[in-house]
Amino acid sequence: MPQASYADSHRLSIEQPEVFWAEQAQRIVWQQPFSRVLDFSQPPFARWFVDGTTNLCFNAVDRHLLQRPDQPALVYISTETGQETSYSYRQLHAEVNRCAAVLRAQGVGKGERVIIYMPMIAEAIFAMLACARLGAIHSVVFGGFASHSLASRIDDARPKVLFTADAGMRGGKAIHYKPLVDEALKLAQHPPQSVIIVDRGIDQNLQRVPGRDLDYATLREQHLQASVDVEWVESSHPSYILYTSGTTGKPKGVQRDTGGYAVALATSMQYIYGGQAGDCMFTTSDIGWVVGHSYIVYGPLLAGMTSIIYEGTPVRPDAAIWWKIVEQYQVRVMFSSPTAIRVLKKQDPACLMRHDVSSLKSLYLAGEPLDEPTARWISDALRVDVIDNYWQTETGWPILSAQPGIEPLPKKFGSPGKPVYGFNVKLLHEASGEPVADEEKGVLVIKPPLPPGCLSTVWGDDARFVKTYFSNFHQQVYSSFDWARRDADGYYFILGRADDVINVAGHRLGTREIEEALSSHAGVAEVAVVGVADELKGQVVAAFVVAKDAASVADATGHQALEKALMATVDQQLGAIARPAKIHFVALLPKTRSGKLLRRSIQALAEGRDPGDLTTLDDPGALEQVRQALLNPAG
């Protein structure tokens, strides 16, 4: 394929999307060719590769059997159980066929839903690929969610089967899944007929409901030699439903197609992630998140790479574990999140030096704003390119990337770069809907058609899809609900969510800008900024800071000194208007299980309100920290 420059390819992808994507579509195997590249006759719904039939599992697995049958496809590493298992493409193919046969025997066929509520074990991926093989629709529910969240997703997806395990492990502690599943099935209006359980032997007290609960190992034995035909599906056939992580309210079932997704991911593997067949990729996310779907499972396998699936934390047995894995498996491409890197930043710096990470070409980070100090710290320590990329569960792959094309783009710290192929990104003025000038703040929107790989609709609710994403700005564009600005060189800077705006005496301030300023101070490890209602000013700025050295703020003197220094930093960088009225020191910030700050809950507490729905909260202790800090502002 000719390798045009980023600028030329991006222009082509916007001006002649059908030409651009017809070419990219050659990256995957079609059983029957598509008759049209794009059907956009019913905007905002876009159908890509109309009439083409394909299969995600075939493209991710079967297709590699000829060229690389013995190359590792998946390497499963658990620092929780000490297990380490490698599966070649041939072995992966066999496991997926067995799992598909098991699911088929339970009545799972084309279009049927399967909920996968699993820890990070290889069987979770076998189940995803088995669904794809059968043309069934998987919905992976993050294993950290409790019964209530699971039940609401079950009722929305109405699965035939729920695929689970006895337990997951986190930081050396077992999390028993089965009691949560039982509770969820009691709460649910539409429980599945059967529950298939991978018994890891962690829950010694595993209870089974006769007639409903089945043991995966037993069923697998019955299908050891299974060969299950691939179900070729039309390109628009849903491959999966993934509920958004819910930082901002009721989760939505993001529905993904098959053909468009495969093409988008295959394209991204070359242009954005630079992953070649045979290379090893290590994505530290969880299969319950979109990053896991796209870059633990489908992306690397479509590209014929080796993908690492990791169960464990970044700091156990110590903070060198990820770099040990990089060295051992000669990882070339790594993908993680800013939160994880900030966790590592608080650990012993020697951990970063212990292993030879020279195989690593680049480290991709996504999911939340990547502040400059964190980016610089990890980039200097590892001597690799750190590449920020910005996207959403809805888009399935990056909208913006610091490496958007084939040639390297000069980096600007703090910016996730430029629009990726197919994404026609605009920044619009919140009120007028007009494009904003360079350096001005606007809402980041995408002019449809959304490129291949993005959500086709909200599962079972076309009206909600249109209403949620396309009702602002005269129904003309997809709204990301994020603020951004663009500089004169065309680089974008994400300024936070559209609802994360603080209005101080009529001045609109993004939480992100103030957080950036605060975290530029050397004494700060992490920070959350929220607006708190104020009679005089409308809102005032409150900052919650995790100090790099907890001892430095342990007494009132240290507390006041750092507070003063931080206020001066904000004054200097943004002006006194953005200065926090109060800085609270905490040891931990409340986050979702996916590592996103729960600013709404912090704000609620700061205003003396109920913190709201906490089902996605990672560590309840963090909210308590905020509560205590508010009660005892002197530190």
Residues that bind ligand ATP in the complex, under the rule CB under 6 A: 244-248, 251, 366-370, 388-393, 416, 480, 482, 494, 497, 594, 596
Q: Write out the two tokens for 496.
A: 């936070």
| Calpha distance 125→217 (Å, rounded) | 15
For helices 6-15 and 17-24, give the axis angle rounded to 10 degrees. Answer: 110
Nearer to ligand ATP, 117 or 390 (CB): 390
| Calpha distance 147→154 (Å, rounded) | 10
| Calpha distance 519→372 (Å, rounded) | 9
| Calpha distance 239→261 (Å, rounded) | 9
- List CB contacts of 609: < 8 A, sequence separation 6 or more: none
Nearer to ligand ATP, 58 or 478 (CB): 478
Query: Measured from the CB of residue 179, what is the shortest distance to ligand ATP in angstroms?
Result: 26
Nearer to ligand ATP, 20 or 397 (CB): 397
> What residues form DSSP beta bridges with 502?
509
Tokens 């072995």, residue located: 91
Nearer to ligand ATP, 428 or 562 (CB): 428
Side-chain half-sphere exposure of 451, counting CA atoms within 13 A: 33
Query: Measured from the CB of residue 473, what is the shortest distance to ligand ATP in angstroms?
Result: 17
Distances (CA, A) of 152 to 117, 125, 164: 13, 23, 17
SS3 assignment, position 198:
strand
Query: Measured from the CB of residue 383, what is the shortest distance to ligand ATP in angstroms?
Result: 22
Nearer to ligand ATP, 135 or 274 (CB): 274
Q: Write out the two tokens for 544.
A: 């919650």
Residue 44: other Cβ atoms inside 10 A? 17
Nearer to ligand ATP, 286 or 482 (CB): 482
Query: Measured from the CB of residue 366, what is the shortest distance to ligand ATP in angstroms?
Result: 5
Query: Measured from the CB of residue 282, what is the shortest distance to ligand ATP in angstroms?
Result: 19
Q: Which amino acid is at 534?
A: D
Query: Measured from the CB of residue 139, what is the shortest distance to ligand ATP in angstroms?
Result: 15
Query: Measured from the CB of residue 502, what is the shortest distance to ligand ATP in angstroms?
Result: 16
Nearer to ligand ATP, 126 or 243 (CB): 243
Tokens 């998946």, residue located: 74
Nearer to ligand ATP, 112 or 257 (CB): 257
Query: Measured from the CB of residue 172, what is the shortest distance to ligand ATP in angstroms?
Result: 27
Query: Measured from the CB of residue 481, what is the shortest distance to ligand ATP in angstroms?
Result: 6
- List CB contacts of 327: < 8 A, sequence separation 6 or more: 355, 356, 357, 359
| Calpha distance 462→375 (Å, rounded) | 39
| Calpha distance 472→406 (Å, rounded) | 34
| Calpha distance 379→363 (Å, rounded) | 8
CB distance 446 to 429 below 8 Å: no
Query: Measured from the CB of residue 116, what is the shortest distance to ligand ATP in angstroms?
Result: 18
Nearer to ligand ATP, 244 or 306 (CB): 244
Query: Measured from the CB of residue 362, what is the shortest distance to ligand ATP in angstroms?
Result: 15
Query: Measured from the CB of residue 39, what is the shortest distance to ligand ATP in angstroms?
Result: 26
| Calpha distance 339→351 (Å, rounded) | 18
DSSP assignment of 414-465, as one string? T---EEPTT--EEEE-TTT-PBPPTT--EEEEEPSSPPTTS--EETT-HHHH
CB distance 353 to 533 below 8 Å: no
Query: Measured from the CB of residue 209, what is the shortest distance to ligand ATP in angstroms?
Result: 32
Nearer to ligand ATP, 268 or 392 (CB): 392
SS3 assignment, position 64:
helix
| Calpha distance 385→376 (Å, rounded) | 10
| Runs of H (alpha helix) within 51-193 | 56-60, 89-105, 122-134, 147-157, 178-187
Query: Measured from the CB of residue 32, what is the shortest distance to ligand ATP in angstroms?
Result: 33
Query: Measured from the CB of residue 68, what is the shortest distance to ligand ATP in angstroms?
Result: 32
Nearer to ligand ATP, 103 or 517 (CB): 517
Query: Terminus-to-terminus CA distance in the chain, angstroms?
Result: 61
Torsional sign, CA 380, 385, 390, 396: negative
Phi, psi of 386 (to 5 degrees): -105, 120
Nearer to ligand ATP, 95 or 516 (CB): 516
Q: Which amino acid is at 80?
A: E
For helices 556-574 and 511-519, give the axis angle rounded to 10 degrees. Answer: 120
Query: Measured from the CB of residue 518, what is the shortest distance to ligand ATP in angstroms?
Result: 16
Closest CA to 508 of 535, 480, 488, 537: 537
Nearer to ligand ATP, 275 or 369 (CB): 369
Closest CA to 274 of 415, 394, 410, 387: 387
| Calpha distance 117→18 (Å, rounded) | 38
Nearer to ligand ATP, 366 or 546 (CB): 366
Nearer to ligand ATP, 39 or 499 (CB): 499
Nearer to ligand ATP, 157 or 351 (CB): 157
